[in-house]
Amino acid sequence: MLAILVSLAMAAAEVGQAPVPLASDPAVQSFVAQALKSSPEVGRAEASARAELDRAPQVSSLPDPTLTLGIQNDGFNGIQIGTMETSYWQVMLTQPVPWPGKLSARAAAARAQASVASGEAARLRLTTTAEVERAYVDLVLARGQIALLAKLEVLWKEAEVMARTRYEVGQGAQSDLLRAQLERTRLQQRRVALEGEERTRLQALNRLRVHPLDEPVATPRPLSGFADPVLRAADEAVADAERRSPDLAIAALTVQAASRRVDSARADWFPDFAVTAGIMPRGQIEPMWTLQLGITLPVFGGSKQGKAVEESQSRREADLRGEEAVRQLVQLRAQERRTLLSAALQTLEIFRGGILVQSDATVRSTLAQYQVGKVTFPSVLEVLRGLVVDEGGYLDALASAQRLAIADDEVSLAPPDGLSSGGSGGSMPGAASVSTRGRAGGSGGSPQPAAVPAATGMPSGM
């Protein structure tokens, strides 16, 4: 029993390497690189951005010229070319020429729209990076929960041995032995649920990497092996979010594109030209030639070009309002994440400097008193369960802090989830639970598995 307690007491410090930031972990970096290289969503967004870039040369080019071939002949009795002055072959070329500035305005609008598409591709790359990091944290958390469950199984096995020994010598109640056996059976059921959760999280990570869904993934570093996120000053956090936000950049680029479309719509008020040149061979007679200049008349400009300008201006105004709305949301989310991260870091400090240490001391004291007959066996079990609960809460707090940092790096516009309540999973003291909640703080991505209720809950009424 003492060896088990020592193992549990050291769980919070169970880190084989010096803590590193999550994004700097070699495994995480490798998985992110695989996802960015192979993700069909990222590839689609980048291909769409390239397609938009290819539009600018198209709209800035002159319209294709028109070649006209014809014949004019006097009468129906025969070809009179060469004999009649008004009979001839006809070769004409017509080149439409837009008003100066029209093509450049259209090209500018197309390039601005291409910038929006490039911004959307950058947004997706950042989101994909965050999804991979969240999926990795979820997988490490699930495996940490399974490890806690294994420790709880060892405790219950030891408890069953102690209860059986006391019962056989007449110093304990049969109910203690039956309860220990019942809880060991329940733990088997909960292990199945946790292993299913771990597998779904593995599949989610492999899906993002575009690897076989059940391909094994090593997670050598536990959650406690990742460095705590850095808490920045409020003004710095907001300014950094505004500077790095792809959504805000996209909104600004959208406004620029709308402005370019307004310029293009105004240029459409001016008429276009058509230059036509032709030659009419007449056989033995000297050929004729022609040169014409056509001009379009915007006689319906009030209902066409004028309305097009008004439409473009209204869309630009809408985009301006949208940019301001995105800016306000970026500021709000940055403040929310900072507030929750501050609470998460304080929670971790309480765990490390208080709860885990006090929980271990309580276990040692209770065990010593049980050995001399001053406390009952249920009291020992209660504090042992409490130690596992505290470690589960510590895992939840670690995962919550990392998720908030991931969302901050992503500059997510999604509302951040609140902190874990400590992973107790029950309202009664010592009601043990290893939480299996889904991921938090995401901006949208691959669906997450449903929560598995109360993975290691134990009755307290012993």
pLDDT in tens, 169-206: 776 677 767 777 777 787 788 888 889 999 999 999 99
User: What was the pLDDT predicted at 376?
Assistant: 74
296 within some domain: no
121 within some domain: yes
202 within some domain: yes
Q: Tell me what percent of the residues of the chain surpass a pLDDT of 90.
A: 53
User: What was the pLDDT predicted at 110?
Assistant: 92
Confidence class of residue 436 from pLDDT cuts 50, 70 and 90? very low
CA distances from 258 to 53, 80, 254, 312, 321 (A): 17, 59, 6, 7, 12
* Helical ranges in 173-292 per DSSP H: 174-209, 234-244, 246-267
User: What was the pLDDT predicted at 353?
Assistant: 87
User: What was the pLDDT predicted at 240?
Assistant: 94
User: What DSSP assignment string belongs to 78-92?
Assistant: S--BTTBTT-EEEEE
Confidence class of residue 373 from pLDDT cuts 50, 70 and 90? low
Confidence class of residue 429 from pLDDT cuts 50, 70 and 90? very low
294 within some domain: no
47 within some domain: yes
116 within some domain: yes
User: What was the pLDDT predicted at 368?
Assistant: 65
In angstroms, the CA 55 to CA 164 distance is 80
User: What was the pLDDT predicted at 354?
Assistant: 86
User: What was the pLDDT predicted at 188?
Assistant: 82
CATH number at residue 236: 1.20.1600.10
User: What DSSP assignment string belongs to 394-462?
Assistant: HHHHHHHHHHHHHHHHHT--SPPP-----S--SSSTT----------S--S-SPPPPPPS-TT------
Region 257-264: mean pLDDT is 92
Does the structure show a pLDDT above 90 at 70? yes
Does the structure show a pLDDT above 90 at 33? yes
What's the pTM?
A: 0.78
In angstroms, the CA 182 to CA 452 distance is 20
Q: How many domains does the chain have?
A: 1
The residue ranking higher by pLDDT, 342 or 17, is 342
Range of the domain at 331: 20-59+102-270+304-410
User: What DSSP assignment string belongs to 329-381?
Assistant: HHHHHHHHHHHHHHHHHHHHHHIIIIIHHHHHHHHHHHHHHHHTTSS-HHHHH
Does the structure show a pLDDT above 90 at 441? no
Confidence class of residue 299 from pLDDT cuts 50, 70 and 90? confident
- Mention every residue, 6+ apart, whose C-beta is less than 8 A from residue 51: 117
Region 226-230: mean pLDDT is 92
Q: Which residue has the tokens 């597998």?
A: 199
Residue 288 forms beta bridges with which residues?
280
427 within some domain: no
Q: What one-character DSSP code corresponds to residue 223?
A: G
3 within some domain: no
